[in-house]
Structure 1
Amino acid sequence: MKIQALAPRLYAPLLAVHLTLLVAEPAHVLTWSYVLVLAVLGFTLVLAVRRVRLSVAHNRPLWAMLLAALLSQATAFALLFADSLANPEGTLVAFDPTFYFCVSSLLLTLAAAYEPVAPAYRWAGAVDAVLATLIALMFYGLVRTLVAGAQAHPDNARSLMWMFDGMALFVAMFATLRLLGTRRRDERRFYVVLSAFAWIELLAPAAHNRFILSSESYVPELLLSLPFALVGLMMSRRRDDWLRGYRPSPRMRHFAGAVSPFVLSVALCLLAFGYLRTQPGMAVVALIAGTASYALRASLLLGRHLASEDELKRLHQDLRRAALRDDLTQLLNRRGFYRVFDHEWERARRQRTPLAVAMVDIDSFKAFNDTYGHLAGDQCLASVARALAGEADAMPGVTLARAGGEEFVVLMVGHAPSAAGAALERLRQRVEALRILHVRGVAGFVTVSAGIASTTLSAYADAESMLSAADAALYEAKRAGRNQVAWAAAPNTKAMS
Structure 2
Amino acid sequence: MKIQSWAPKVYVPLVAAHLVVLVVEPARVLSWSYALVLATLLFTLFLCWRRLHFSVKHNRPAWACLLLALVVQTAAFVLLLIDSLKNPLGTLVAFDPTFYFCLNSLILTLAATYSPIGPLQRWSGAIDAALACVIAVLFYLLLRRVIGESSTDPAAARFIMWMFDAMALFVASFVTLRFIITKRADERRFYFVLLMFSWAEMIFPAVHNRFILSSESYVPEIFLDLPFVVLGVLLSFRRTVWFRGYRPKPRVRVIAGSITPFILSAALCLLALGYLGHNAVVAIGALILGMISYAVRVALVVGHHLALEDELRGMHRHLQQTAIHDDLTGLINRRGFYRILKRDWASAMATQTTLTIAMMDIDNFKAYNDTYGHLAGNDCLAAVSGALKNEAGLYQGVTVARYGGEEFAVLLSGYDHAAAEHILQRLRLSVEALQIPHGRGTNRMVTASAGIAASAEGHYVKIEPLLDAADAALYAAKRAGRNCVRWFAADMAAREPGKHSLADSQRSRS
**Aligned mates of 1:312, 1:364 — CA distance in 2:** 44
Is the Cα–Cα contact under 8 Å of residues 92 and 157 in structure 1 kept in the other structure? no
Please say if 1:481 is aligned against 2:481.
yes
Is the Cα–Cα contact under 8 Å of residues 51 and 238 in structure 2 kept in the other structure? no
The residue number in structure 2 matching 1:358 is: 358
The residue number in structure 1 matching 2:161 is: 161
Match of 1:356, as an amino acid?
A: T
The residue number in structure 2 matching 1:463 is: 463
Correspondence list, 1:300-449, <5 A: 300-449=300-449
Distance 1:94 1:163, change over 3 A: farther
**Aligned mates of 1:193, 1:473 — CA distance in 2:** 75
**Aligned mates of 1:105, 1:14 — CA distance in 2:** 25
| Stretch deviating more after TM superposition (295-304 or 338-347) | 338-347
Match of 1:182, as an amino acid?
A: T
Is the Cα–Cα contact under 8 Å of residues 416 and 456 in structure 1 kept in the other structure? no
The residue number in structure 1 matching 2:21 is: 21
Is the Cα–Cα contact under 8 Å of residues 128 and 264 in structure 1 kept in the other structure? yes
**Aligned mates of 2:32, 2:250 — CA distance in 1:** 51
Match of 1:165, as an amino acid?
A: D
Moved over 4 A (4+): 92-96
**Aligned mates of 2:336, 2:65 — CA distance in 1:** 55
**Aligned mates of 2:252, 2:50 — CA distance in 1:** 32
- Secondary structure at 1:456's aligned position in 2? helix
Is the Cα–Cα contact under 8 Å of residues 449 and 484 in structure 1 kept in the other structure? yes
Match of 2:48, as an amino acid?
A: A
Correspondence list, 1:29-428, <5 A: 29-91=29-91, 96-151=96-151, 153-428=153-428
**Aligned mates of 1:428, 1:86 — CA distance in 2:** 106
Is the Cα–Cα contact under 8 Å of residues 450 and 484 in structure 2 kept in the other structure? yes
* Post-superposition CA distance 1:155-204 (Å, at most 9, x none): 32222111111101111112112222223322222222111111111111
How many Å apart are 1:296 and its aligned residue?
A: 0.2
**Aligned mates of 1:328, 1:33 — CA distance in 2:** 79
* Post-superposition CA distance 1:365-415 (Å, at most 9, x none): 111111111111111111110110000011111011000100111000000
How many Å apart are 1:457 and its aligned residue?
A: 2.3
- Secondary structure at 2:216's aligned position in 1? coil
**Aligned mates of 1:21, 1:117 — CA distance in 2:** 48
How many Å apart are 1:239 and its aligned residue?
A: 4.9
**Aligned mates of 2:53, 2:400 — CA distance in 1:** 61
Match of 1:49, as an amino acid?
A: W
| Stretch deviating more after TM superposition (302-311 or 189-198) | 189-198
How many Å apart are 1:456 and its aligned residue?
A: 2.8
**Aligned mates of 1:272, 1:407 — CA distance in 2:** 76
How many Å apart are 1:105 and its aligned residue?
A: 0.3
Structure 1 stretches of 5 or more lacking a match? 491-497
How many Å apart are 1:94 and its aligned residue?
A: 6.6
- Secondary structure at 2:42's aligned position in 1? helix
How many Å apart are 1:248 and its aligned residue?
A: 2.5
Is the Cα–Cα contact under 8 Å of residues 363 and 482 in structure 1 kept in the other structure? yes
**Aligned mates of 2:250, 2:34 — CA distance in 1:** 46
How many Å apart are 1:154 and its aligned residue?
A: 4.5
How many Å apart are 1:153 and its aligned residue?
A: 3.8
**Aligned mates of 1:116, 1:483 — CA distance in 2:** 65
Q: CA RMSD in A?
A: 1.6
Distance 1:391 1:456, change over 3 A: same
**Aligned mates of 2:474, 2:295 — CA distance in 1:** 67
Is the Cα–Cα contact under 8 Å of residues 402 and 409 in structure 2 kept in the other structure? yes
Match of 1:112, as an amino acid?
A: A
Match of 1:87, as an amino acid?
A: N
Q: Could you tell me the TM-score, scaled by structure 2's length?
A: 0.93
Structure 2 stretches of 5 or more lacking a match? 491-510
Q: How many residues align?
A: 491
Match of 1:295, as an amino acid?
A: A
**Aligned mates of 1:173, 1:65 — CA distance in 2:** 18
Match of 1:62, as an amino acid?
A: A
Match of 1:141, as an amino acid?
A: L
Match of 2:475, as an amino acid?
A: Y
- Secondary structure at 2:437's aligned position in 1? coil
Distance 1:94 1:326, change over 3 A: farther
The residue number in structure 1 matching 2:503 is: none
* Post-superposition CA distance 1:394-440 (Å, at most 9, x none): 11110110001001110000000100000000000001001111111
**Aligned mates of 1:82, 1:383 — CA distance in 2:** 89
| Stretch deviating more after TM superposition (234-243 or 369-378) | 234-243
The residue number in structure 2 matching 1:495 is: none
